[in-house]
Amino acid sequence: MAVFNGAGVAIITPFTDNNEVNYEKLGELIEFQIAAGTDSIVICGTTGEASTLTHEEHLECIRYTVDKVAKRVPVIAGTGSNSTDTAIYLSKESEKYGVDALLVVTPYYNKATQKGLIAHFTAVANSVTIPIILYNVPGRTGCNILPQTVATLVANVENIVGIKEASSNIAQVAEIMQLTQGKIDLYSGCDELVVPILSLGGLGVISVLSNVAPKETHDMVVKYLEGDVVGSRELQLNLLPLINALFCEVNPIPVKKAVNLMGFEVGALRMPLTEMEPANTERLAKEMNAVGIKTV
């Protein structure tokens, strides 16, 4: 059984004026997402600025989210690292908190070989008993999980069950599904490619867009899975200008600005990320308003 079908939000991490994690605001965002029909909360991913959280903050965000969600939807914790030992530590602690699955990104900066990736993901998976979703985002990590490597891991490691594919390479996604005979839970990691990935057997998306348009992102997936391909495609295409605006600067700069424009007051970014350029902010607000998202 898949961890979830539909739209999982790669939720942002709100900060106070003192640049500390704002747990009260995180709770507000979680309630907003669940009320809008989001199918899973993905905490401490790229969009959650996990790379600038301390280990203590990282784990407390996960613990808080599990408690706040209270089993209403699955909670997936980002526990990847470029250090295998660190990934194992974060994964084991997250399992203790009761998360439903782990999202484990390809080791970044090290640029491991495919042999190294197999060793890394196998070690992390063997340290826990809960499901693991691989996260392939070579544009950020400098390292690509090749389809044969995915197939090897899925065939040999029981709790590696899925992949968030954010390579933007549809041919690669197709090869993953062919080599695994579809025996992997496939999630889009690119909001602009949700429908194409669903057409190859995908179950949903782990989404940046869901932070600002949770109902629409959920509906895009559910319509497709229920056979309304035309309706799903229309949502994909109608949302494309907003999606492009959400990635006109490096994620999560635009999406955090967007959530602030919605009035949530989620604070600033942690350096080295900086505030969005005014012209891009204007573009973002325009596209949000165009799809009916009110800005302040």
Closest CA to 14 of 48, 57, 45: 48
CA distances for 154 relative to 177, 235, 261, angstroms: 11, 32, 41
Q: Is residue 30 domain-resident?
A: yes
In percent, the amount of the chain with pLDDT more than 70 equals 100
Closest CA to 176 of 142, 131, 130, 144: 144
Query: Above 90 in pLDDT, residue 11?
Result: yes
Region 23-35: mean pLDDT is 98
Q: Is residue 211 domain-resident?
A: yes
pLDDT category at 1 given cuts 50, 70, 90 is confident
Contact 252, 275 (CB under 8 A): no
Please state the domain count of the chain. 1
The sign of the dihedral angle between the CA atoms of 203, 3, 129, 112 is: positive
Q: Is residue 261 domain-resident?
A: no
Q: What is the mean pLDDT of the chain?
A: 98
What are the residues whose beta carbons fall under 8 Å from the beta carbon of 264, sequence distance 6 or more?
A: 14, 25, 28, 29, 32
Q: Is residue 259 domain-resident?
A: no
Q: Is residue 291 domain-resident?
A: no
Q: Which of 64, 135, 187, 224 is catalytic?
A: 135
pTM of the full structure? 0.97
CATH number (domain holding residue 108) = 3.20.20.70
Q: Give residue-wise pLDDT tens across range 83-94.
A: 999 999 999 999
Q: Is residue 257 domain-resident?
A: no
Q: Give residue-wise pLDDT tens across range 122-153.
A: 999 999 999 999 999 999 999 999 999 999 99
Q: Is residue 254 domain-resident?
A: no
* Residue range(s) defining the domain that contains residue 82: 6-226
Q: Which of 164, 223, 256, 257 is catalytic?
A: 164
Q: Is residue 68 domain-resident?
A: yes
Q: Give residue-wise pLDDT tens across range 100-119.
A: 999 999 999 999 999 999 99
Catalytic site residue 164?
yes
User: Residue 234 has what pLDDT?
Assistant: 98
Region 246-270: mean pLDDT is 98
